[in-house]
Amino acid sequence: MKFSELGLAEPFLRATEALGYEQATPIQTEAIPVVRSGRDLIGCAQTGTGKTAAFTLPTLERLMNSLPRHGTNRADGGGGKANRKNGRLRPVRALVLSPTRELAVQIADSLDRYGKFTPLKQAVVYGGVSQHHQVQALRRGVDALVATPGRLLDLINQGHIDLSKIEILVFDEADQMLDMGFLPDLRRIVARVPTVRQTLMFSATMPNQIRQLAQQWLSDPASIQVAPAAAPAERITQSVHLVDKKRKPDLLSRCVQERNWVRTLVFSRTKHGADKIVKRLKRDGVRAAAIHGNKSQGNRSRVLQQFKSKNPPVLVATDIAARGLDINNVSHVVNFDLPESPETYVHRIGRTARAGAEGIAVSFCAGDERGFLRQIERLTKKSIPVEPTIEGFEPTEPVGGQAVRGRRPRGGSRVGGRSGGRRRDVGQGRSGSKSKGHGGKSADSRSTGERPRRSKGSTAPIAGRGPVKPAGDPGAATTRRKRRRPTTKL
């Protein structure tokens, strides 16, 4: 459908035209009319489908329609601590919650682009950086706010943000926020938002917990699903190398050097692992960089820019750092470690074959990861072809793996292993893992510099993945001074 047929107001048609968008994507075609009608919406869609515009365009349009007559969003009062304390400032009326700072910045960029021809203002707040500039931006008055949950609560508690005038509340990547232990924070935030509001919830997967929350927080929502989360894009060619754990670095180095891998994104389960892979590749003369939660915001932005350039290094990422990132033209996704959750596999390989391109996803499966491989095959209802063994890389490890209930798919690759508990021996697992030197923060929270405040005993299993690791590092949110993003005119 053409954008012009969606009935959006002129400033938004101009914006999409300026961006070169002609046709609305499926989620935009379905979601925009629903959101414009004022109805709540639950959308199952991944990044890359155009979902940001799907909620941003009608949200901004609504903000334009209800623009307060007497408000201003300029710093006209000065010194007022909270936007609510200065009666002449326009209140925050739309709030978009994001699990990671990268996604938050991306959404804020979208608000900028789609609202370019409006007088609306937006700001983004996230942890891991000084709050100073964020507070200054808030003081100037903001119509739409993008936030990660921990920093948002910090700023609310300090009196810098008032959510009592929120008209639209958007949860983006809701499943990811739950995985990261943000549920208690989300509950606190929802409690501060008016009950009469429009609520939009987007999630890449729809586990039961998301559905339950949607029942609590959304009112008679329309439900939209663009591509089933379990179905990787048809255009992704998948394969798996059965290889011993200790041989994986050699195999990766060899593949990257000998094959024509143009823009390669490697997933490592742990941050330490990601660093080790980068070190190893560099030793072999391969340009490589890591992106994960222990890297500074400046470093992460720089590495991302390099990866998007014409001559990209191999990018080695942890799941949280890469989730939600809008990177096109990834030629190869490598699962250096197989993820513990099969949904994560689908998200990972969805980094390639975007925007109609072809993509290749290669997984390295060690003996004790066979159970994960079978879980992936069960979820995707597809067997993943096993690559012919490369001389010198013959698997010798005993085959084991996490217990998997149910049958393996018919015609599945011969990767069977005995059932049995798999020891969580990585430092970044969602549950049960013990992280050292991070104040007990989960890998995910460390990645965002956020402050998940998990309530005591709040260890409800999420989508069968076991309890979420409690996390908390009150100091981390505000210690480091990083690049900031001031309020921008939309």
Residue 53's CB is within 10 A of a number of other CB atoms, namely 24
- Among positions 317-336, residues that touch ligand AMP (CB under 6 A) are 326
- Part of the chain binding ligand AMP (CB under 6 A), chosen from 24-32, 89-97, 142-150, 443-451: 24-32
Please choose, from the candidates 194, 149, 140, 138, the residue with its C-alpha nearest in 3D space to the C-alpha of residue 171.
149
51 near ligand AMP (CB under 6 A): yes
Nearer to ligand AMP, 321 or 404 (CB): 321
CB of 459 vs ligand AMP, minimal distance in Å? 32
Q: How far is 186 from 178, CA to CA, in rounded Å? A: 9
From residue 488, how far is each of 122, 140, 261 by CA, in Å?
Answer: 6, 10, 38
CB of 325 vs ligand AMP, minimal distance in Å? 9
Three-state DSSP at 147 gives strand
Nearer to ligand AMP, 35 or 362 (CB): 35
Select the residue interacting with ligand AMP from 8, 12, 40, 52 (CB under 6 A): 52
Structure tokens at 276: 């080790």
Select the residue interacting with ligand AMP from 43, 48, 127, 232 (CB under 6 A): 48
CB of 244 vs ligand AMP, minimal distance in Å? 37
- Part of the chain binding ligand AMP (CB under 6 A), chosen from 20-28, 274-282, 345-353, 480-488: 20-28
Select the residue interacting with ligand AMP from 29, 36, 44, 49 (CB under 6 A): 49
Nearer to ligand AMP, 112 or 387 (CB): 112
For residues 342 to 361, the per-residue mask of contacts with ligand AMP, x marking binding by CB under 6 A and - elsewhere, is --------------------
47 near ligand AMP (CB under 6 A): yes
CB of 276 vs ligand AMP, minimal distance in Å? 30
Nearer to ligand AMP, 235 or 418 (CB): 235
- Part of the chain binding ligand AMP (CB under 6 A), chosen from 47-55, 166-174, 229-237, 393-401: 47-55
CB of 111 vs ligand AMP, minimal distance in Å? 12
From residue 398, how far is each of 157, 363, 374, 395, 469 by CA, in Å?
Answer: 53, 18, 16, 9, 30
| Inter-residue contact 173 to 99 (CB < 8 Å) | yes
Structure tokens at 301: 């932005």
268 near ligand AMP (CB under 6 A): no
Select the residue interacting with ligand AMP from 13, 41, 44, 53 (CB under 6 A): 53
Select the residue interacting with ligand AMP from 36, 41, 42, 50 (CB under 6 A): 50
CB of 20 vs ligand AMP, minimal distance in Å? 7
21 near ligand AMP (CB under 6 A): yes
203 near ligand AMP (CB under 6 A): no
CB of 31 vs ligand AMP, minimal distance in Å? 11
Three-state DSSP at 316 gives strand
Structure tokens at 242: 């059965």
Site size for ligand AMP (CB under 6 A)? 13
Q: Which residues bind ligand AMP (CB under 6 A)?
A: 21, 23-25, 28, 47-53, 326
